[in-house]
Chain A
Amino acid sequence: MMSMLTPDDLQAVTLTLKLASLTTCVLLCIATPLAWWLAGSGRWYKGLVAALVALPLVLPPTVLGFYLLLLLGPQGVVGEITRAVGIGALPFTFGGLVVGSVLFSLPFAVQPIQNAFEAIGKRPLEVAATLRATPWDRFVSVALPLARPGLLTAIILAFAHTVGEFGVVLMLGGSIPGETQVLSVAIYTHVEAMEYREAHWLAGGMVLFSFLVLVGLYRVGGNWAKGAR
């Protein structure tokens, strides 16, 4: 089967997996505290933050990609900072793709975790507090384990969504093999070049992968429903 894939295609597959894994890790670190705050906060600006987090759900990816390109570019605010600290400009690099992917998939990670935290309610945390657990201890020993189904869902969704993204990647990364040419972009390039056979292998693989992810997701959801009963 590997003979059906060109070396460039293989590179695109590994690059995509690398991007998705890294993005998922970064997302977990950002989304978990953010979701915890959104689930517990009563501040007036909570609604604003929630709307900002959800924005990538409704924006065309090209819009997000366009503004990221400007922001991260050499003339952009962030671009000037990254250049000043010696990282250089991020557009058309792998690092730029990670930043774009994290923002693009943020709602897919935050919302399941936030829902899980909200479903726990106050009571288990109050119980833990009366049993001498400090706030951090309560978060680690009660909130995180009880939110496990939400965390799993977030991991699967963030990973799959990153694998499937196209617009942001194309706008922000272009199509440099080995650096920014991910699967979805590789398929697009094949189709543009009328290489339908190669496109089929990659596109079919994506269909299969997406299907398996969804099957896994529903199993997580099913177990969750069982555990909650």
Chain B
Amino acid sequence: MSCIQAQFRLQRDSFTLAAEFEAPMRGVTALFGHSGSGKTTLLRCIAGLERAPGSLQVNGETWQDGRCFMPVHRRPLGYVFQEASLFPHLSVRSNLEYGYRRIAAAQRKIAPDQVIEWLGLSHLVDRRDANSLSGGERQRVAIGRALLVSPQLLLMDEPLSALDTHSKQEILPYLERLHRELDIPVIYVSHAMDEVARLADHLVLMEGGKVIASGALHDTLARLDLPTAAFDDAGAVIEAELAQHDEPYHLSRLDFPGGHLWVGKVEQPFGTRLRARVLARDVSIATQAPQGSSINNILPAHVEALSDAGPDKTMVKLRVGESQALLSRITLRSRDVLALQPGMQVYAQVKSVALAA
């Protein structure tokens, strides 16, 4: 029963939410879609901030069903809003401890000092005016405040979208750490593919108020029948392990089932789990092993499926080893010149790899 099952219907002016999904109660589940697709509304329904007819089971516990509706303040959740929304009349510390003070001592699994250390807030915690913090600092305090209620489920509504690029880069490592080290399931709303690819394990794809796909991140991102395949930054995610350094060339080798990738040197201990993102536009295909290529990563693969992506492009789904999917976007002409067919043995040339912690 370790899952979340949600089903809501909500009619508001010209917008209809009719969403149903099931997601595991572990790791990060991304609610992904364009703005206006209803992902924030769905998240608010899960929190109980929006009262929509439907049902909601979390970990076998009923939060909403028919007439039964657990009020927001009784749900064991944490919520991080798009804007930090710190209480302006409280100090940074009082903001952090607002929820902590309101839960029973026996329920407190996370201590303020832990969160302060963990989110790097020690130099801010004694500020009296929470509004004097920068955007990124404020959002870190908001995340800490939500964690301090020791939630069973953490809901995050585009926590990075109100921030500039610099602040985003400042917060992302904390979110990744949260992902790795804390055993709190997260539902993360986002419209930014790069964030989702870095953070999520499970993907719930939304469009026009409906859930159009839900599944493990790797599988869902590699599906050719979903709108995500048409994105400019469509691509595959590879979970890999740091295995070796090539010191003279400042490179590191990442192993994954079915192959390995060379990337710029990663200063982390061997065995560290890393997530690599390979964009479809950065993968080209050769039918014979390329000779004399400057490209470091050439992976033997076989073609699994093809699907048109626009008037001049086609998306090729490749499989490396047993289970690793890879996407490649090539021109229609290349497809015909190479006479690509499902089942063919090819070589995938990976021009660039983006790493997420």
Q: Which A residues contact B (CB, under 8 angstroms)?
A: 123-124, 126-135, 137, 141-142, 145-146, 148, 227
Q: Closest Cβ of chain A: how far from B149's Cβ, in Å?
A: 6
Q: Is the CB of A131 within 8 A of B49?
A: no
List 21 A–B pairs whose Cβ atoms lie within 8 Å, in order of A's numbering. A123-B83, A124-B85, A124-B87, A128-B98, A129-B71, A130-B47, A130-B72, A130-B77, A130-B78, A131-B99, A131-B102, A131-B145, A131-B146, A132-B73, A132-B74, A132-B103, A133-B98, A137-B102, A141-B98, A148-B89, A227-B88
In the complex, which residues of chain A have a beta carbon less than 8 angstroms from the beta carbon of B99? 130-133
Q: Is the CB of A130 within 8 A of B79?
A: yes
Asked if B8 is at the interface (CB within 8 A of a chain A CB), the reply is no
Most chain B CB atoms below 10 A, which of A133, A135, A137 = A133
The SS class assigned to the A binding surface is: helix
Q: Closest Cβ of chain B: how far from A123's Cβ, in Å?
A: 5
Seed contacts A131-B149, A146-B88, A148-B89; 17 additional CB < 8 Å A-B pairs: A124-B87, A126-B72, A127-B85, A128-B98, A129-B49, A129-B72, A130-B47, A130-B77, A130-B99, A131-B73, A131-B145, A131-B146, A132-B149, A133-B73, A133-B99, A133-B102, A137-B102
Q: Closest Cβ of chain B: how far from A87's Cβ, in Å?
A: 41
Asked if B81 is at the interface (CB within 8 A of a chain A CB), the reply is yes
Q: Closest Cβ of chain B: how far from A142's Cβ, in Å?
A: 6
A132 to B85, CA, bound (A): 16
A142 to B88, CA, bound (A): 10
In the complex, which residues of chain A have a beta carbon less than 8 angstroms from the beta carbon of B83? 123
Closest 10 CB pairs of A and B: A131-B99, A130-B79, A132-B102, A129-B72, A145-B89, A127-B85, A129-B73, A132-B73, A131-B98, A123-B85
Task: Bits for B55-84, please: 1 = Cβ < 8 Å to A, else 0.
Answer: 000000000000000011110011101010
A126, A127, A134, A227: the one within 8 Å of B87 (CB): A127
A158 to B87, CA, bound (A): 29
In the complex, which residues of chain A have a beta carbon less than 8 angstroms from the beta carbon of B73? 129-135
In the complex, which residues of chain B have a beta carbon less than 8 angstroms from the beta carbon of A141? 98
Q: Closest Cβ of chain B: how far from A117's Cβ, in Å?
A: 14
In the complex, which residues of chain A have a beta carbon less than 8 angstroms from the beta carbon of B81? 123, 126-127
In the complex, which residues of chain B have a beta carbon less than 8 angstroms from the beta carbon of A227? 88
In the complex, which residues of chain B have a beta carbon less than 8 angstroms from the beta carbon of A128? 87, 98
Q: In the complex, which residue of chain A has the Cβ closest to the Cβ of B84? A: A127
| A142-B87 contact, Cβ under 8 Å, with A123-B81, A127-B81, A132-B73 | yes
In the complex, which residues of chain A have a beta carbon less than 8 angstroms from the beta carbon of B88? 146, 227
A48 to B72, CA, bound (A): 31
In the complex, which residues of chain A have a beta carbon less than 8 angstroms from the beta carbon of B89? 145-146, 148
A134 to B83, CA, bound (A): 22
In the complex, which residues of chain B have a beta carbon less than 8 angstroms from the beta carbon of A146? 87-89
Q: In the complex, which residue of chain A has the Cβ closest to the Cβ of B47? A: A130
In the complex, which residues of chain A have a beta carbon less than 8 angstroms from the beta carbon of B102? 131-133, 137
In the complex, which residues of chain B have a beta carbon less than 8 angstroms from the beta carbon of A132? 73-74, 99, 102-103, 149
A179 to B284, CA, bound (A): 96
In the complex, which residues of chain A have a beta carbon less than 8 angstroms from the beta carbon of B71? 129
A128 to B72, CA, bound (A): 10
Most chain A CB atoms below 10 A, which of B88, B103, B145, B149 = B88
Q: In the complex, which residue of chain A has the Cβ closest to the Cβ of B49? A: A126
A1 to B78, CA, bound (A): 64
Q: Is the CB of A130 within 8 A of B146?
A: yes
A148 to B89, CA, bound (A): 10
In the complex, which residues of chain B have a beta carbon less than 8 angstroms from the beta carbon of A127? 79, 81, 85, 87
In the complex, which residues of chain B have a beta carbon less than 8 angstroms from the beta carbon of A131? 73, 98-99, 102, 145-146, 149
Q: Closest Cβ of chain B: how far from A223's Cβ, in Å?
A: 13
Q: In the complex, which residue of chain B has the Cβ closest to the Cβ of A120? A: B88
Q: Closest Cβ of chain A: how far from B144's Cβ, in Å?
A: 12
Q: In the complex, which residue of chain B has the Cβ closest to the Cβ of A141? A: B98
Q: Closest Cβ of chain A: how far from B184's Cβ, in Å?
A: 14
Q: In the complex, which residue of chain B has the Cβ closest to the Cβ of A229? A: B131
A133 to B89, CA, bound (A): 16
A123 to B162, CA, bound (A): 15
Q: In the complex, which residue of chain A has the Cβ closest to the Cβ of B82? A: A123
Q: Closest Cβ of chain B: how far from A225's Cβ, in Å?
A: 14
A126 to B149, CA, bound (A): 15
In the complex, which residues of chain A have a beta carbon less than 8 angstroms from the beta carbon of B103? 132
Q: Closest Cβ of chain A: how far from B145's Cβ, in Å?
A: 7
Interface positions, chain B 317-354, Cβ under 8 Å from A, are none
In the complex, which residues of chain B have a beta carbon less than 8 angstroms from the beta carbon of A148? 89
In the complex, which residues of chain A have a beta carbon less than 8 angstroms from the beta carbon of B47? 130
Q: In the complex, which residue of chain B has the Cβ closest to the Cβ of A126? A: B49
A129 to B47, CA, bound (A): 10
